[in-house]
Chains A and B, each alone.
Chain A
Amino acid sequence: MKADPAGVLTGVHYLDGDYACGEGAMAAGCRFVAGYPITPSTEVVERISRRFPMMGGTFIQMEDELASMAAVAGAAWTGTKCMTVTSGPGFSLMMENIGLATMMEAPCVVVNVQRGGPSTGLPTMVGQADMMQARWGSHGDYELIALSPQSPQEAFDLTIEAFNLAETWRVPVMFMMDECVGHMTEKVVIPPADQIEIVPRKLTSKPPGEYKPYEVNGRPVPEMVRAGDGYRFHTTGLTHDERGYPVMSVECQEVSVRRLIDKIRLNADQIVRYEEEDVDGAEVVVVAYGITARVTRAGIDLARAQGVKVGFLRLVVVWPFPERRIRELAGKVKAFVVPEINYGQMVLEVERCAGGKAPAVLVPHGGGGVHDPRAICQAIVEAAR
């Protein structure tokens, strides 16, 4: 279906990534946001709190990030599309209820504008060191989806995509921005509402009494209902059966947790998204995401000037990871080069998928700034030898 025009600020704008993310959420139909102030993400909710009263949306500033994520997990059951926004320290606190949303299969979006860590780290300066936390941060086994925008325009476009993925797969979707993209101001084109595709909540057609909250009938994702529609359903963070009732058994754990994993793992091809440039015939393929993808292009240009055949694979959807594509490329390239603003996170995935056929060379950066393109160039040139 098409977007609600009330939330779409159609036009050509000059926006930073945080504002663009907020506009993307409103265009996607998000009408409930709970958040807690934290640099460098706060502009997202400042934008939303200024515009929500004019479009039937409610923003609430909660007492902390535990509460923010819990409120979003609750609001997800009303049919009102919902989101929370934070940065590293708040992301840590949200992990508890990200797990709840994953277990209950409550669709929602969690924005993390990454800063340098660990702990309080570098509040106003960039980092990309929460990428593994996005995937593994809550306890137990689960799968979810994460995206990483490289520009304010993508902050807008991919926030809409994040909401659509959340509805399609009934998972919390992690929107892994970084401080540079969040605070960089660029042209952002917002199309008319009738050109924005929205995935609506898939509500069951079954009447109350026949509906079971976690019955899938062979599909990957169960149909949903809204609280207040007379279904009198039950859901819990405990391991549960099709009725949403707790069942403490090996068998139920196997069936229910396996499905949480499989709905993403077995459908990864429908979710995975990346962009490739000049990968065919490349000696070295650079894998990057977020702001580092843009710095990487400068590094690639420098390496090409030295005669190295370099390809580029930019992760758009970061989780699930494009395992198959990396595996294919591993048989064709001399090496992968992975620059990221951390001491080695997504490089571990590249290395795992390459399976020893090609080395994965990390170009680390501790955070607080972006790479010097010459460092990326040097890694490419050395990897090509």
Chain B
Amino acid sequence: MSTEVETPVRPEEHPIAPYLRMDRMPHIWCPTCGIGTVVKCFATALGEAGVDLDKTAIVSGIGCTGRVAGYMNLDAFHATHGRAIPFATGLKLGRPELEVVVFSGDGDLSGIGGNHFIHAARRNMDLLVILVNNFIYGMTGGQNAPTTPETARSSTMPFGNFERPFNLPHLAASCGATFVSRWTCLHIRRLTACIRTALGRKGFRFIEVIAPCSTLYARLNRLGSGLALMKFYHDNSEIKHGADTREVDIGFQERFICGNFIDQERPTFLDMMHAHYSQVLGDRYVPMKPEGGWLHD
């Protein structure tokens, strides 16, 4: 049964409209793609956390989730494939007062950008990284990703994937990330709260969000509609805060664990640099100003 729903508000009156580039709507995502709800949670969290939006930059790589930066009403950078994290590192170090968010997909950040991911976590670079994991390369047509579960079909593993996928929370944690969480795109309140909390923390903060690719992953694997898959992920995820990240692998259409796994303080790259140079160089050390290096006074 379907009923006609009156649009309750005009698009520009939507509560998250101030956080979006409404002049770029409609977005490119497919119906029942999970990315939109993650954007909604992020925008809501930005408002709730009370961050200075003028001092917040967002960087995306390439792919479906790579389009997020382009829709956010922030200083926004749509960088090259896999390079969102090092691009963001340059922004952060060039103007240390910025809050820099990286928002991209599983293929972008853990495939082609995997090396940057582990090193940024190792350095505890002060970045909030939101990774939407749909288990597949969506924009290019459903090819196998480093996150595709074993036996799942993709357009380049038409007989089922036989590679072992990454356990991304464990990868981030083992490299030193200070904040590690996983939610699904249907955990609206919990994900929003998680992003809000992460915005208040420092260091390399990693949030993985499980989301359906309705057009490719769901279709190639005969998993029903995107909405059905979204519900499946939500209903088959067990919330286990503080879980040992070694135990949060995701099998094909199996129950998996989500929650807030790690939330600890550790000095960031810049904290370490300032402390070290202050100690060894004393008064000779001149740190970069929060607004950047030698901006002509």
* Chain A residues close to B by CB (< 8 Å): 1, 4, 6-7, 29, 31-32, 34, 53-58, 60, 62-64, 66-68, 70-82, 96-97, 99-100, 200-201, 226-238, 243, 245-246
Query: Which B residues are in CB contact (< 8 Å) with A231?
Result: 75
A228 x B291 contact (CB < 8 A):
yes
Q: What are 20 A-to-B residue pairs whose CB atoms are below 8 Å?
A: A6-B286, A29-B294, A34-B89, A53-B281, A54-B284, A56-B289, A66-B82, A67-B85, A70-B80, A74-B89, A75-B91, A78-B90, A78-B95, A79-B291, A227-B77, A228-B54, A228-B75, A234-B70, A234-B77, A238-B78
Of residues 269 through 297 on chain B, the ones whose CB sits less than 8 Å from some CB of chain A are 269, 273, 277, 281, 284-289, 291-296
CB distance from A53 to the nearest CB of B (A): 5
Question: Interface residues of B, CB < 8 Å — how many?
Answer: 51
Given A32-B93, A227-B98; A53-B86 close (CB under 8 Å): no
**Distance in angstroms between the alpha carbons of A79 and B95 in the assembled complex:** 8
Query: Which A residues are in CB contact (< 8 Å) with B250?
Result: none
B293 x A58 contact (CB < 8 A):
yes
**A231 and chain B: residue at smallest CB distance:** B75
**Distance in angstroms between the alpha carbons of A235 and B77 in the assembled complex:** 5
B73 x A73 contact (CB < 8 A):
no
B93 x A233 contact (CB < 8 A):
no
CB distance from A191 to the nearest CB of B (A): 18
A78 x B91 contact (CB < 8 A):
yes
**Distance in angstroms between the alpha carbons of A206 and B135 in the assembled complex:** 44
Query: Which B residues are in CB contact (< 8 Å) with A56?
Result: 286-289, 293-294
Query: Which B residues are in CB contact (< 8 Å) with A246?
Result: 70, 78
Given A64-B115, A227-B98; A31-B294 close (CB under 8 Å): yes
Quick one: which of A4, A57, A70, A201 contacts B86, CB cutoff 8 A?
A70
Main secondary structure of the interface of A (DSSP, over half): mixed
Q: Please, what's the 1-or-0 string for B102-118, where 1 marks a CB less than 8 Å from any CB in chain A?
A: 00000000000001100
**Distance in angstroms between the alpha carbons of A81 and B91 in the assembled complex:** 12
Is B94 an interface position by the 8 A CB rule? Answer: yes
**Distance in angstroms between the alpha carbons of A273 and B82 in the assembled complex:** 37
Q: Please, what's the 1-or-0 string for B1-42, where 1 marks a CB less than 8 Å from any CB in chain A?
A: 000000000000000000001011000000000000000000
A32 x B74 contact (CB < 8 A):
no
**B93 and chain A: residue at smallest CB distance:** A58
**A243 and chain B: residue at smallest CB distance:** B23
**Distance in angstroms between the alpha carbons of A228 and B75 in the assembled complex:** 7
**A1 and chain B: residue at smallest CB distance:** B296
CB distance from A79 to the nearest CB of B (A): 5
A32 x B90 contact (CB < 8 A):
yes
Is B172 an interface position by the 8 A CB rule? Answer: no
**Distance in angstroms between the alpha carbons of A56 and B54 in the assembled complex:** 24
